Structure 1
């Protein structure tokens, strides 16, 4: 903990770059969630089109249960999307409410240093380090 405080005191740009890297991680996770929903849901609706037509007439929990039990691939696909969305929501909420854990902050600082060492050839250089040295 003392080492990380000293490194932040010696390098004030590190905190800004750590925050940028965290924002990049948040955006990529939400992009993954959106892509997952956009890819999976059309497949699920296609597989469940007969059940959806029945549910439009008589929507009950039994109809939903029937649709999911007798279409396990669709149930797994919906569970995947819901689970991924819930995981990202909980991760981001924890970071907002409680801040970064010391372990997570250390990992981010380590990644920022790795990006700095690699230079402009690193994929995240432009987003994390910025246009200062370009």
Structure 2
């Protein structure tokens, strides 16, 4: 098992990197769809904010345009969650529980073989 351990760590690193890319792809997708539609629906209020910004005008614009407010909240919340998650891993590293979960998922991909959708990105040259 000691021979396979470095290979497993490389595969876990690829899987983790793929997870990070996938999360940022989701955030990009949300901002390009829901976020842009929400900003478009608030275009008149944004024009007013540019002229005379107050926190009250922001509050009322979001209160009376609830759907765009929910869309922007979803985009901001998702982006913030990804930033906090990734920053935690950068600053303190991956926790042992998270490392174990990643290894378990890579083993599952290995076990399923080439039929797994992530096989070619996580287990190349096999």
TM-score, length-scaled by structure 1: 0.86
Which runs of structure 1 show a deviation greater than 4 angstroms over 4 or more consecutive aligned residues?
7-10
RMSD: 1.6
Question: Matches of 1:119 and 1:35 in 2, distance apart?
Answer: 29
Query: Is 1:21 equivalent to 2:28 in the alignment?
Result: no
Task: Report the more deviating stretch, 32-41 or 7-16.
Answer: 7-16
TM-score, length-scaled by structure 2: 0.91
The Cα shift of 1:87 comes to 0.4
Question: Matches of 1:53 and 1:61 in 2, distance apart?
Answer: 14
Q: Which runs of 5+ in 1 are unaligned?
A: 1-6
8 A Cα contact 1:8 1:14, kept in partner: no
Question: Matches of 1:42 and 1:90 in 2, distance apart?
Answer: 23
Q: What is the number of residues matched between the two proteins?
A: 126
Q: Which runs of 5+ in 2 are unaligned?
A: none
Q: Alignment partner for residue 98 of structure 1, among 88, 92, 95?
A: 92
In the alignment, which residue of structure 1 is the partner of 2:109? 115
Task: Report the more deviating stretch, 50-59 or 30-39.
Answer: 50-59
